[in-house]
Chain A
Amino acid sequence: MLQVSPPRPVHAGPTTLFQRLWAEHAICHSLDHDHTLLRVDRHYLHDLGGGFAIRRLAASGHPLRRPDLTVAIDDHTVPTGRDSAMSNAAATRHRMRVDLREFSRQHDMRHFHADDPGQGIVHIVGPEQGLTLPGLSVVCGDSHTSSHGALGALAWAIGTSEVVHVLATQAAWQRRPKQIRIVLEGRLGPGCTAKDAILSLIGRYGTSRASGAAIEFAGPGVREMDLDARFTLCNMASEFGAKFALSAPDSKVFDYLHGRPCAPSAHAWDAALSYWRTLRSHDAARFDEELGLDLGTVEPQVSWGTHVDQLIGLSEQIPQLASLSAVQCQAAEAALSYMDLQPGQAMAGLPVDQVFIGSCTNGRISDLAVAAGVIRGRRVRAGMRAWVVPGSREVSREAERLGIAAAFRDAGFAWRSPGCSMCCAVNGETVAPGQRCVSTSNRNFAGRQGPRSRTHLASPPVAALAAVLGCIPSLREYQECFA
């Protein structure tokens, strides 16, 4: 049997926010495999992993321990339009959602099912509903769970077996990671977004630079960003290899949360606020590594390859193979072959077939607002398939109120219902074989958006302009939109 001891103490002295939250959630420690058992405050169960997990839980014979701390959400498998083909796979997806609904009902568990007015992508709905709160531990069987860290939560991705473990114990084993602080300074230039900032970092340092680490985003550059931008940073941190990502909660976070359906209210709000105000790294706290980024140096990015670090600025060319290390070269050759591109080729002017604006990375209202600004009064190029999939019903309603939805529809974009959709194409909404899609999602792996699909990652305004031009914009064409 596993031998445990009390949690290993965090060192005496000034602590980081991450260390503090870790200590507050640590139950015990296993010396055998150097893992700490952490208490879980919020467990989000989505419709893809959730279906497998509840079957495995039933098979294990263990009951659901804390239905009050478990929230189910339909996002990965839901159709976002009426045009989804009926198929065996579609029937399987439907059954998984039905199973999840039945499970939620049996346990009196909150379920944001496909018809719920609060439904949407889990990493957008959790914060939006005031379920994710500063200082809480949050887990989900989805790679981009680190997104919730933008509220100052301790949030991380777990695998399917871990999901079953959390369902049965409301706790998760985790090895304490090293800590990296990324300090953002300066100001993003016109048309540059948080997506470009995090892509620049990944491009510079590689996809395994932060492998398994906990990242804290800090500095005046973060304080100036709105919440949606911080969510994008913490979301994409997983593509940097990070296990956790967070930033200290501040008045923007408190204003965001105030009045949300499940956020504390009245006396509870005051108590929460006085605790939340203490959630920051001590000035003298030490991190294992420090990285910095001057936001003023960030250029709008687009990916050319099949790994997230294979990207360039709009004004640049795909690197020559001779300029790459042996390992990068091997990866680049395979990627360029798959993407049908050449070393030294410029991305500007590359014709594209589809545009997808959405996902947990860039499906929030600010993302849609900036993108709408670029296409107002213009039309999607003939023959292009251009989709906007708002991240949640709440985002969709807000977009209608602000005229953003109308702007997209008038320009010829398909305005869809909320869901993960084409980011991972699990719901059957794929990019056709051989076609290029400029996507505001988080991964460009071979076949991610459908067999033989070609993904070009970019920010929402870059994607929107690509839809109008029918190709990846040049930096000049792009900057003209913000002049």
Chain B
Amino acid sequence: MTPFLHHSGRACQLMLDNIDTDVILPTAALLLPSLDEMAEHLFAPLRELSPAQVGLSAVFDATASRGASFLLAGANFGCGSSREMAVWALAAYGFRCIVAPSFNEMFRGNCVRNGLLPVCLDASLIDSAVSAVERRPDTRFAVDLETRRIVWTDTQAHPFAISRVERDRLVTGVDEISETLHYRALLEAAEAAHRQAFAWAYGADHAS
């Protein structure tokens, strides 16, 4: 993943609630050999519905959206399966920031791990961002991880919540495993204690 402190770009919108990971990246695309090919299948199930079926504001027009690095979306974005490939595909497509009223918690964690910034804003604010994009598709969005604010056109900068650890991960791209292994002594002590107290859990047959 590419760490970043500031990012600006265009936005596209997919204003449906409860967009699940099977819609973001259908299972058929999971075994494609490259991330770029996975990205081609982004939101494929929605693209097969006509605008009348899904609602004009929800159609993900892949052509018009190319080059957009912000995605404006509905509540509970990323619900469904825990599989991370949905996030990989979004990142490979070119998204750097997703703006929604809420995210599935596991999905949110997967985003941060993969350099994709999840920004929670009130639905009414997101609606005004969508209006701005509808008026002018080249509306410029900018996000700042130092000040933890997002801004578009001439609006004031809006604060968003992000934990220090999430922010650090996005900004430095630090390796989670190394962070944990820094506390190797604690891991070893916990394992030893468990082995002593719960010997029955370490059966004979695991490696047979």
A interface, CB within 8 angstroms of B: 1-2, 4, 27-28, 30, 32-35, 37, 39, 41, 48-49, 52, 60, 62, 67-69, 71, 77, 89, 92-93, 96, 108-110, 130-131, 133, 135-136, 141-143, 157-162, 164-165, 168-171, 173, 175, 207-208, 211-212, 241, 243, 261-264, 268-269, 271-272, 275, 307, 327, 330-331, 333-334, 337-338, 424-426, 443, 445-448, 450-452
Contact = CB atoms under 8 A, between A and B. Distances in A.
B177 A60 contact: yes
Contact of A426 (B31, B33, B201): B31
Given A4-B186, A175-B105, A451-B44, 5 more contacts: A33-B163, A130-B203, A143-B82, A211-B104, A447-B22
Considering the complex of A and B, which 4 residue pairs feature the smallest CB-CB distances, nearest first?
A33-B165, A160-B84, A445-B22, A272-B200
B155 interface: no
A426 B183 contact: no
Contacts of B179: 1-2
Contacts of A30: 165
Nearest to B164: A32
Contacts of A109: 207
A422 to B, nearest CB: 11
Contacts of B26: 447, 451
A365 to B, nearest CB: 23
Interface string B5-23: 0000000000011101011
Given A243-B105, A307-B18, A424 B27 contact: yes
A158 B183 contact: no
Contacts of A451: 26, 28, 44-45, 48
Contacts of B33: 92
A330 to B, nearest CB: 7
23 contacts: A33-B164, A33-B165, A39-B187, A39-B190, A48-B30, A69-B206, A110-B205, A143-B81, A157-B106, A159-B83, A159-B113, A160-B85, A161-B176, A175-B105, A261-B205, A307-B18, A331-B16, A334-B53, A338-B49, A424-B27, A426-B30, A447-B22, A451-B45
B181 interface: yes
Contact of B113 (A92, A157, A161, A327): A161
Given A2-B179, A157-B106, A307-B18, A447 B44 contact: yes
B136 interface: no
Interface string B76-96: 100111111100000000000
A339 B103 CA distance: 26
A165 B175 CA distance: 10
Interface string B54-94: 11001000000000000000011001111111000000000
Contacts of B16: 330-331, 334
A249 to B, nearest CB: 14
Interface stretch (B127-135, B138-146, B191-199): B191-199
B205 A262 contact: yes
Nearest to A448: B22
A335 to B, nearest CB: 10
Interface string B168-179: 100000011101
A208 B104 CA distance: 9
Q: What class of interface size applies to chain B in its complex with A? A: 35 or more
Nearest to A1: B182
A446 B31 CA distance: 19
A175 B164 CA distance: 15
A211 B22 contact: no
B40 to A, nearest CB: 14
Given A41-B201, A158-B82, A272-B200, A170 B30 contact: no
B175 to A, nearest CB: 7
Contacts of A164: 177
B145 to A, nearest CB: 15
A27 B207 contact: no
A364 to B, nearest CB: 22
B166 interface: yes
A159 B82 contact: yes
Among A2, A450, A452, find the residue whose CB has the most chain B CB atoms closer than 10 A.
Answer: A2
Given A27-B187, A39-B190, A447 B45 contact: yes
A155 B85 CA distance: 22
A109 B207 CA distance: 5
Nearest to B203: A262
A173 B180 CA distance: 9
A446 B84 contact: no
B55 A330 contact: yes
A39 B27 CA distance: 31
A115 to B, nearest CB: 16
Contact of A330 (B17, B20, B166): B17
B111 to A, nearest CB: 10
A402 B78 CA distance: 43
